[in-house]
């Protein structure tokens, strides 16, 4: 997912994808160690600076995106939900999962940037959309917490890719308005 995000950012910004990913390594490792998007903000700001994102854009986009958990958390929660359903011989349909993913996307905007925040925010969606029992919810929490650091690392890396894209769009619009 990180490669896809930075490939899009590289295509929009005309920057080298691999240099941007290399610059993101300190933020990625900090996220793995802290399991917290909020705690990773200072390091991720430095990563954005190393990716030549302007100060005004990085200082707005990185903290804002740290509170919006999309790629890593959504992928993780969806994968874990499918695993729990398969473990319990619960059948599911594609439309059911698409509805779950759509609601999860909305929920992740409000998920707190603390360890385990995304799964706790998603419990209502799991219960309402997928009809999880209390035991299944408990299993979801356990599964999610065991790998939360990797989801967080994916989230904050995506935040930096978004900062590169926003900065590129902003600079293009700024050049047009100056001419």
pLDDT tens for each residue of 112-137: 767 788 899 999 999 999 999 999 99
* End-to-end C-alpha distance for the chain, whole angstroms: 37
CA distance 129 to 137: 13
Q: What is the pLDDT of residue 88?
A: 95
In order along its 179 residues, the chain shows pLDDT tens digits of 899 999 999 999 999 999 999 999 999 999 999 988 889 999 999 999 999 999 999 999 999 998 886 788 889 999 999 999 999 999 999 999 999 999 998 898 887 767 788 899 999 999 999 999 999 999 999 999 998 889 889 989 999 999 999 999 999 888 888 76
Exposed (0-12), middle (13-18) or buried (19+): which is 43, by Cβ within 10 Å?
buried
58 in Cβ contact with 48 (< 8 Å): yes
Taking only Cα atoms into account, the Rg of the chain, rounded to an integer number of angstroms, comes to: 18
Residue 112: what pLDDT?
Answer: 74
Give the pLDDT confidence score for residue 93 in this predicted structure: 94
The label of the residue with tokens 């599964």 reads: 143
pLDDT of residue 113: 67
Question: Rounded to two decimals, what is the model's pTM?
Answer: 0.84
Residue 90 is predicted with a pLDDT of 95
pLDDT of residue 108: 86
CA distance 156 to 160: 6
- Cα gap 145→115, rounded to integer Å: 8
User: If we measure between CA atoms, which residue out of 99, 20, 37 comes closest to residue 71?
Assistant: 37
């Amino acid at each position: 997912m990180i490669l896809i995000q930075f490939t899009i950012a590289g295509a929009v910004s005309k920057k080298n994808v691999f240099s941007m990913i290399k610059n993101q390594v300190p933020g990625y490792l900090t996220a793995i160690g802290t399991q917290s998007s909020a705690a990773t903000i200072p390091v991720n700001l430095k990563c954005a600076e190393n990716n030549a994102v302007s100060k005004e854009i990085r200082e707005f986009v990185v903290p804002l995106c740290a509170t919006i958990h999309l790629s890593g958390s959504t992928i993780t929660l969806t994968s874990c939900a499918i695993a729990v359903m398969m473990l319990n011989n619960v059948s599911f349909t594609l439309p059911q999962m698409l509805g779950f993913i759509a609601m999860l996307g909305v929920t992740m905007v409000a998920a707190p940037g603390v360890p385990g925040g995304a799964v706790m925010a998603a419990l209502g969606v799991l219960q309402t959309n997928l009809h999880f029992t209390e035991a299944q919810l408990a299993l979801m929490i356990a599964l999610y917490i065991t790998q939360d650091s990797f989801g967080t690392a994916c989230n904050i890396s995506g935040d930096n890719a978004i900062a590169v894209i926003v900065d590129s769009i902003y600079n293009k619009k700024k050049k047009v308005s100056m001419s």
